[in-house]
Structure 1
Amino acid sequence: MNLSILEPENRNAFIEENKGFIYACTEHICKRKLDWNNDDELSISLMAFNKACNTFNNSKGNFYSYAGIVIKNSLIDYFRKNKNIPVLEFEDQNEKKEYIDLKISVSEYEKGIENKNRAEEIMMLSNELKEYGLSFEMLVKSSPSHEDTRNMLLNIAFLCTKNNMIMEYIKRKKQLPVNQIVSLTNTKRKKIEKWRRYLLALMLILSGKSYQYIKSYLNIKAGEKND
């Protein structure tokens, strides 16, 4: 990619050209129609795209893949800080629909760079999991098979990452504060205990600033709220 188009003097024109890309990313994650004049999510995504322009270099791989990840993670952080958070859900792993025109093909070289970055994140997460007595093998064995259960646990984990006391306890004690989570989420203690390893791993990923590719791999999106 010609990095000169990301320079400050060319930035406004480049962002304007890519508003369709920014909108498509945001709409896909928020799962609703949006308005540039009324929806904060689009402003968050616009700033995230600008951040991607500032931080991108060729070691990041494909620009649009990288920008999409920065936008997605910025929206997730926005949801975490916003009291009116949406219901979250995991996307169907079998869904083949392409929702964004990346405009340029990703070369094998760029794919290799992205795979290298993902591998580095996986190694970082593996090391962090060890600090909590966890491993990927444990998580595979203790992961829920039903989509409803996975989505329920995702929202419990997401809600907990917004609570500083819970996250500080986890960082300090290296375990879940089950009583606090039960109280915060109105979930049965037995259920929290059953899925504690899976929940703990989700919280570490969602709250971690270094897991951009892993968060993207989780395919998190906003779901429909129940009235």
Structure 2
Amino acid sequence: MAILPFRRKKTEEHSDLNQLIDLIQKGDSRLRNKLLEDYIPFVAKCASQTTGRYVEPGVDDEFSVALSAFNEAIDRYDIQKGASFLGFAETVIKRRLIDFYRSQSVRNKDVPFSDFDMDDEEDHVVNYVEVQRSLDLHQQSIEIETRQDEIIRFTEWLAEFDISLDELVELSPKHADARLNAMEVARVIAGDSELRNYLMDKKALPLKLLSSRVSVSRKTVERQRKYIIAITLILIGEFEMLKGYIQ
């Protein structure tokens, strides 16, 4: 099976990639290597967009991090969820680059105070504090961009269930115990393939199935329907930053 370049039409590419990834996840190492090779331009593009500068394949550390993240995405991608692999891979690449910058930041903080001012290769004085500040600001900008990307994807997914982000704010349970109950129902759905598939196929809560699996009353579940669906989508989707708000 030939691997097509990443510029193909999205619908065709999505189907082809899913077939390839299914074979790779079943152990086809030859296809894995071919996919990694063919998508080097995509990986470099994602890394460059995330870092805000050109990332050269085979030269910059950021490219190595991004390529490793792409390989990780191949293993972690869940075909059954129906999401775009390339969108998922881009998210993983961004996260791993954030982790990379964080690790660099921690390592650099071990520099002694006497080394804050230093000469670079062209005898220019470089102040460590300013370098660190720039690194921190860049890391923050990456995190903001990643969070915005998650919100956009989450909003689009909510729309498939006829839910808007604005009404979700209004519908959120006001009491802590009510929110906890709704989150628990969402976790049950997210962790059960039968319930999860029903939700994704019918675009509705599996009320009858839930009645025997949760202690929350059906009336309460119906009242909090949209909130429960939204939390479930966060739990089963690739929304690592949004998940931080519901832990």
Structure 1 length normalisation: TM-score?
0.52
1:215 is aligned to 243
- Map residues 101-180 of structure 1 onto 2, 5 A cutoff: 107-180=136-209
Give the letter aligned to residue 139 of structure 2. E
In 2, distance between residues paired with 1:61 and 1:119? Answer: 20
Query: Relative to 1, partners in 2 of residues 1:113 and 1:145: Cα closer, same or farther, differing over 3 Å?
Result: same
In 2, distance between residues paired with 1:180 and 1:3? Answer: 49
Give the letter aligned to residue 213 of structure 1. M
| Correspondence for 2:220 among 188, 191, 208 | 191
- Map residues 30-69 of structure 1 onto 2, 5 A cutoff: 56-57=96-97, 62-63=101-102
In 1, distance between residues paired with 2:138 and 2:147? Answer: 14
Deviation, structure 1 residue 146: 0.9
**Contact map agreement 1:205 1:211 (CA 8 A) in 2:** yes
Deviation, structure 1 residue 63: 2.7
Runs of 5+ unmatched residues, structure 1: 8-51, 65-103, 221-227
In 2, distance between residues paired with 1:56 and 1:141? Answer: 34
2:124 is aligned to none
Q: How many residues align?
A: 132
Deviation, structure 1 residue 3: 5.2
In 1, distance between residues paired with 2:245 and 2:220? Answer: 25
- Secondary structure at the aligned position of 1:185 is classed as coil
In 2, distance between residues paired with 1:3 and 1:182? Answer: 52
2:87 is aligned to none
In 2, distance between residues paired with 1:154 and 1:214? Answer: 14
Runs of 4+ with deviation above 6 angstroms: none
Quick check: 134-143 or 104-113, which moved more?
104-113
1:103-161 CA deviation, whole Å, 9 max, x = no partner?
x8771121011000000010000000000100111111110111111112111111121
| Correspondence for 1:202 among 209, 228, 231 | 231
**Contact map agreement 1:134 1:197 (CA 8 A) in 2:** yes
Deviation, structure 1 residue 170: 0.6
Runs of 5+ unmatched residues, structure 2: 1-59, 66-91, 104-131
- Secondary structure at the aligned position of 2:234 is classed as helix
Query: Relative to 1, partners in 2 of residues 1:114 and 1:61: Cα closer, same or farther, differing over 3 Å?
Result: farther
In 2, distance between residues paired with 1:162 and 1:190? Answer: 22
Quick check: 180-189 or 166-175, which moved more?
180-189
Q: CA RMSD in A?
A: 2.9
Select the structure with the greater relative contact order (CA < 8 A; seq sep ≥ 6): 1
In 2, distance between residues paired with 1:61 and 1:108? Answer: 14
Identical aligned residues as a percent: 26
In our comparison, the structure showing a higher alpha carbon Rg is: 2
**Contact map agreement 2:198 2:206 (CA 8 A) in 1:** yes
